[in-house]
């Protein structure tokens, strides 16, 4: 089987150079005669992987020194619970921006620990789904923090603005857009992201937390979710997901070799413009998100005639374009085009779409 273009939302495509290197060194990593999976997380060899990956991530995102980087388990959903239990302190409410499926899921989990102040930012612009600008978000004085999701993986809705909320603690679920472009980490209290989209394999979750927010965890919080415990133990309070961590470290190096996040921003913007361009030029395809809030990472689109969905999916797989089926709550198609998706993949998709329209339109 030759390489296909994989448009899965996550677990998602990884850079093929990284996979090839992992393949080469799988059974004999660094001359140890064993794989990286089989050595102690406390061995000097693995500690070196851990330290280097953190350094590379800090370089890529320009993470200031007063932030801890935690390599965790549990996926982003564990963070839906960890965030309130780490940050509420004596407070009983937090602002939650309800902007899509994942932000809403975070609210459902937070309700176990506090009374979220829910702000629905969904609106319509030119008949399309849009987000109310940050300057109009009605934040609550008593809130311990404001939580939002900058990129809604399922809805294809993005909030491209950088938050500027003074001394409010801003928490962002960056699961599906971290490392896709530069961000100003200093605007955030906590950034978290499951690895399986734009970082590496499933099993690893990144948390970047400002150090003045440590030490406030609820006493019933399991230690494994406690940022202070994880920071004090350098993410080795228990056995971390070592293989996912190692592979993510290689992705960070790959990103640096590619030219870092400014280069990624350029490529991701170009890829997204190419695909939206084809969708917008035709009456056969449509995307229902207002231009300013369109995701660069996850692009849902519908066919004018839903009866053709199955034909589209069958034919796209034959053309080497995989996993284009939309999420069940949205339907239609969705192309996830994270960092590892080359522009050639998006070009192959747009060529296929144009040809499909000619034959079925």
Q: Which residue ranges make up the annotated binding site for pyridoxal 5'-phosphate?
A: 76-77, 102, 153, 173, 196, 238-239
Judged by beta carbon, residue 189 or residue 241, the one nearer ligand PMP is 241
Q: Which residues contact 206 (CB under 8 A, 6 or more apart)?
A: 57, 69, 70, 71, 72, 178, 191, 192, 193, 195, 199
Beta carbons of 18 and 254 less than 8 angstroms apart: yes
CB of 267 to ligand PMP, least distance (A): 21
CA angle 47-198-318, nearest 5°?
A: 125
Alpha helices (H) along the chain: 16-25, 44-61, 75-87, 101-110, 227-232, 242-258, 260-281, 309-318, 343-360
The nearest distance, CB 91 to ligand PMP, in angstroms, is 23
Which residues belong to the annotated binding site?
42, 76-77, 102, 153, 173, 196, 238-239
The two beta strands, 95-98 and 146-148, are parallel
249 phi/psi in degrees, rounded to 5: -60, -40
Q: Which long-range contacts (CB under 8 A, 24 or more apart) does 276-283 make?
A: 277/350, 278/350, 278/353, 278/354, 282/357, 282/361
CB of 207: closest distance to ligand PMP in angstroms? Answer: 12
Query: Considering 197, 226, 254, 325, which one is annotated as catalytic?
Result: 197
Dmax over CA atoms of the chain, in Å, equals 62
Hey, how many other C-beta atoms are within 10 angstroms of the C-beta on 286? 15
Which secondary-structure segment (H or E) carries 117? strand 117-120
Contact 81, 226 (CB under 8 A): no
Give the CB-nearest residue to ligand PMP. Answer: 75
Separation CA 63–CA 276 (nearest Å):
32
Kindly tell me which of 74 and 249 has the beta carbon lying closer to ligand PMP.
74
Asked if 168 is an active-site residue, the reply is: no
137 is catalytic: no
Nearer to ligand PMP, 56 or 173 (CB): 173
Nearest approach, Cβ of residue 347 and ligand PMP (Å): 25
Catalytic residue chosen out of the listed positions 68, 95, 102, 226:
102
- We find the least distance from the C-beta atom of residue 13 to ligand PMP, in angstroms, to be 15
3-state SS record for 82-103:
HHHHHHCCCCCCCEEEECCHHH
Q: Which is nearer to ligand PMP, 94 or 278 (CB)?
A: 94
Which of 63, 104, 73, 68 minimizes the C-alpha distance to 196?
73
Q: Which residues are annotated as a binding site for L-glutamate?
A: 42
Chain-centroid distance, C-alpha 244: 15
Catalytic pick among 56, 173, 226, 245: 173
Residue placing its CB nearer to ligand PMP in the complex, 113 or 174: 174
What minimum distance in Å lies between the beta carbon of 153 and ligand PMP? 3
**Residues making contact with ligand PMP (CB under 6 A):** 10, 75-77, 102, 149, 153, 173, 175-176, 194
Q: How far apart are CA 321 and CA 103, in angstroms?
A: 29
Q: Which is nearer to ligand PMP, 76 or 143 (CB)?
A: 76
Catalogue the active-site residues. 102, 173, 197
């Amino acid at each position: 089987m030759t390489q296909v273009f994989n448009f899965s939302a996550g677990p998602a495509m990884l850079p093929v150079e990284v996979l090839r290197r992992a393949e080469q060194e799988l059974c004999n990593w660094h001359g140890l005669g064993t794989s990286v999976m089989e050595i102690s997380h406390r061995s000097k060899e693995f500690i070196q992987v851990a330290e280097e990956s953190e350094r590379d991530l800090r370089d890529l995102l320009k993470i200031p020194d007063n932030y801890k980087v935690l390599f965790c388990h549990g996926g982003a959903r564990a963070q839906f619970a960890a965030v309130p239990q780490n940050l509420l302190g004596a407070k009983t409410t937090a602002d939650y921006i309800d902007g899509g499926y994942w932000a809403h899921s975070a609210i459902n989990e937070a309700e176990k620990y506090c009374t979220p102040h829910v702000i629905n930012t969904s609106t319509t612009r030119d008949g399309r789904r849009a987000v109310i600008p940050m300057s109009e978000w009605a934040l609550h004085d008593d809130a311990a923090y404001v939580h939002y999701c900058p990129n809604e993986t399922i809805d294809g809705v993005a909030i491209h603005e950088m938050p500027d909320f003074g001394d409010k603690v801003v928490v962002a679920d960056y699961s599906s857009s971290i490392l896709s472009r530069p961000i100003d980490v200093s605007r955030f209290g906590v950034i978290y992201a499951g690895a399986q989209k734009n970082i590496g394999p499933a099993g690893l979750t990144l948390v970047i937390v400002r150090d003045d927010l440590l030490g406030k965890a609820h006493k019933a919080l399991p230690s494994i979710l406690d940022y202070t415990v994880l920071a004090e133990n350098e993410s080795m309070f228990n056995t971390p997901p070592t293989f996912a961590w190692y592979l993510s470290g290689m992705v960070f190096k790959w990103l640096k070799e590619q030219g870092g996040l400014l280069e990624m921003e350029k490529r991701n913007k170009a890829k997204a413009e190419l695909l939206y361009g084809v969708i917008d030029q035709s009456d056969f395809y449509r995307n229902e998100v207002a231009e300013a809030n369109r995701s660069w990472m996850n692009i849902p689109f519908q066919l004018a005639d839903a009866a053709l969905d199955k034909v589209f999916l069958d034919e796209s797989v034959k053309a080497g374009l995989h996993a284009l089926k939309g999420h069940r709550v949205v339907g239609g198609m969705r192309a996830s085009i994270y960092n590892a998706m080359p522009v050639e993949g998006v070009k192959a998709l747009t060529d296929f779409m144009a040809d499909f329209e000619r034959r079925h339109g």
